[in-house]
C-alpha cells in the first residue's frame, strides 16, 4: 500500500478549531505515505490553518456549504476529483452527503467509524488512518507549524510593552465563534460558551495580585481582532489595567506565534484553544454543553485543565456557572511560584 499510493484526498470543512483537530491524523498520513501528494477539500479557514503545513500538501479546494451555489460547486468538485484519479480518500466529515464527492471514483475510501462516538474526534480521525494502513501507528497530537518570521512579528509586538523573552505571559481569549449570536440565545445555544467581561476582569485582577505578591516577571495579555476591541477594552477597564490589549491587523501566522509565546492561555472552547494545543501552549479551558473527551484540547493531559459547567451548581447557565475563583485556582498550577531572581 505504501508504495502504490500517489494521490490522497482528505475532506474536512469547518472552522479553524475543526481543522486543527484533524492535524494529528494529517501528520500520520504524511508520515505513513511519505511519497503521496495530499489534496484537501475544506473551507476558507482550512486554507488559512493548513498553510505551509507540509511540503506534500498539494492543493486545498475551497468548499462553502452555506454558499447558495454550493450544489453546483459540489458537482464541479466531484468532476475534478474524478479527473485527478485519487488512490485514497480520507473523509473526516460525519454528513454522508460528502461521500458524493468521490463515490463515483475508483478511489479506496475510509470514513469515520460511527461506532466510536465516545472517543475524541481527533482520535477517531487517527483511527481512520489506522484502518487504511491495517496496522497500528505512532500516536500523534494536534500540531501546527510556526515560522521564525512569525515569531519575530509576535516578539516585536510584545517588546513595546516591556515583555521580554524571559517574561511569563498569560493569554486571555474572551471571545468565541458565534459570540455575536450568543446574546440572542440562538438555537445552537452559543450563549453557553459566553463568560462575561467582568468574569475575565476579576480573574485578571486575581492573577495580577498573585504576580505582584510573588514579584514575578509576568504579564497578562489579550491578542484580539480589531472588531473585538470593545470587548477587550471593557476587560482592561474592569481589571484596572491588569491586562495589556493588542488589536493588530489580522495575521494568522503571527497569531499562531503569539499563542505559542504564551506560557498559559485562558479560553472558552473555541478555535484558539485548539491552536494553543497545536503549538503546545498550556491551557485552562471553559466548557459547557460539549464533552472535553470529544472536542477538548488534543494534547497531553498534563498540559491543560478543563473546567466544566456541568460540575457546577447551576450548569444551565453555561460557562457562566464557573466562577473566577475556580478559574484562578485552575491557573495556579501553571504559574511560576516565585521570582527566579
Mean pLDDT score, 201-222: 97
pLDDT per residue over 276-290, tens digit each? Answer: 999 999 999 999 999
* C-beta separation of 141 from 299 below 8 A: yes
Q: What is the rounded distance in angstroms from the CA atom of residue 188 to the CA atom of residue 184?
A: 11
The residues spanned by each domain of the chain are: 7-133, 148-334
Proportion of the chain above pLDDT 90, given as a percent: 82
Neighbours of 7 (CB within 10 A): 17
Mean pLDDT score, 292-305: 97
Specify the 3-state DSSP secondary structure of 109: strand
CATH hierarchy code of domain 7-133: 3.40.50.2000
Cα dihedral 204→279→49→265 (10° resolution): -10
pLDDT per residue over 234-267, tens digit each? Answer: 999 999 999 999 999 999 999 999 999 999 999 9
Fold match between domain 7-133 and domain 148-334: yes
Proportion of the chain above pLDDT 70, given as a percent: 93
- Contacts for 177 with CB less than 8 Å, ≥ 6 apart: 15, 17, 270, 271
Is 0.75 topped by the overall pTM?
Answer: yes
What is the Cα gyration radius of the chain? 21
Decide: residue 289, CB within 10 A, 0-12 exposed, 13-18 middle, 19+ buried. Answer: middle
Q: What is the rounded distance in angstroms from the CA atom of residue 313 to the CA atom of residue 195?
A: 16
Mean pLDDT score, 265-280: 97
Looking at 106-110, 187-191, 221-225, which range is the least confident one?
Answer: 187-191
DSSP string spanning 300-315?
-GGGEEEEEGGGSS-G
Decide: residue 48, CB within 10 A, 0-12 exposed, 13-18 middle, 19+ buried. Answer: middle
CATH fold of 148-334, please? Rossmann fold (3.40.50)
Q: Give CB contacts under 8 A, 24+ apart, made by 157-160.
A: 157/223, 157/246, 157/248, 157/254, 157/258, 158/221, 158/258, 158/261
pLDDT tier at 74, thresholds 50, 70, 90: confident
Decide: residue 226, CB within 10 A, 0-12 exposed, 13-18 middle, 19+ buried. Answer: exposed
pLDDT (0 to 100) of residue 176:
79
Phi-psi region of 185 (alpha: psi -120 to 50; beta: other; left: phi over 0): left
pLDDT per residue over 129-162, tens digit each? Answer: 999 999 999 999 999 999 999 999 999 999 989 9
- Strands, E assignment, 86-147: 88-91, 108-111
Q: What is the rounded distance in angstroms from the CA atom of residue 268 to the CA atom of residue 159?
A: 27
Amino acid at each position: 500500500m505504501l508504495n502504490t499510493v500517489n494521490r490522497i484526498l482528505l475532506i474536512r470543512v469547518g472552522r479553524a478549531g475543526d481543522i486543527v483537530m484533524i492535524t494529528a491524523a494529517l501528520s500520520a498520513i504524511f508520515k505513513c505515505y511519505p511519497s503521496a501528494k495530499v489534496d484537501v477539500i475544506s473551507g476558507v479557514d482550512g486554507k488559512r490553518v493548513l498553510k505551509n503545513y507540509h511540503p506534500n500538501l498539494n492543493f486545498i479546494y475551497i468548499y462553502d456549504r452555506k454558499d447558495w451555489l454550493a450544489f453546483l460547486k459540489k458537482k464541479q468538485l466531484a468532476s475534478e476529483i474524478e479527473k485527478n484519479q485519487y488512490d485514497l480518500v480520507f473523509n473526516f466529515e460525519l454528513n454522508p452527503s460528502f461521500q458524493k464527492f468521490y463515490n463515483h471514483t475508483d478511489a479506496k475510501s475510509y470514513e469515520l467509524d460511527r461506532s466510536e462516538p465516545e472517543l475524541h474526534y481527533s482520535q477517531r480521525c487517527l483511527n481512520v488512518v489506522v484502518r487504511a494502513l491495517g496496522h497500528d501507528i505512532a500516536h500523534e497530537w494536534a500540531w501546527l507549524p510556526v515560522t521564525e518570521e512569525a515569531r519575530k512579528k509576535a516578539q516585536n509586538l510584545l517588546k513595546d510593552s516591556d515583555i521580554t523573552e524571559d517574561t511569563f505571559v498569560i493569554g486571555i481569549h474572551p471571545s468565541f465563534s458565534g459570540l455575536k449570536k450568543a446574546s440572542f440565545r440562538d438555537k445552537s445555544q452559543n450563549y453557553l460558551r459566553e463568560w462575561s467581561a467582568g468574569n475575565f476582569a476579576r480573574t485578571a485582577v486575581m492573577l495580577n495580585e498573585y504576580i505582584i505578591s510573588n514579584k514575578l516577571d509576568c504579564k497578562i495579555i489579550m491578542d484580539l481582532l480589531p472588531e473585538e476591541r470593545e470587548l477587550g477594552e471593557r476587560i482592561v477597564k474592569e481589571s484596572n489595567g491588569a491586562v495589556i490589549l493588542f488589536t493588530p491587523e489580522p495575521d494568522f501566522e503571527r497569531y499562531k506565534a503569539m499563542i505559542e509565546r504564551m506560557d498559559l492561555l485562558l479560553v472558552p472552547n473555541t478555535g484558539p484553544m485548539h491552536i494553543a494545543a497545536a503549538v503546545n501552549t498550556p491551557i485552562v479551558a471553559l466548557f459547557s454543553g460539549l464533552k472535553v473527551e470529544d472536542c477538548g484540547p488534543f494534547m497531553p493531559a498534563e498540559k491543560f485543565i478543563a473546567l466544566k459547567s456541568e460540575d457546577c451548581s447551576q450548569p444551565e447557565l453555561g460557562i457562566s456557572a464557573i466562577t473566577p475563583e475556580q478559574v484562578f485556582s485552575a491557573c495556579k498550577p501553571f504559574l511560576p511560584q516565585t521570582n527566579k531572581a
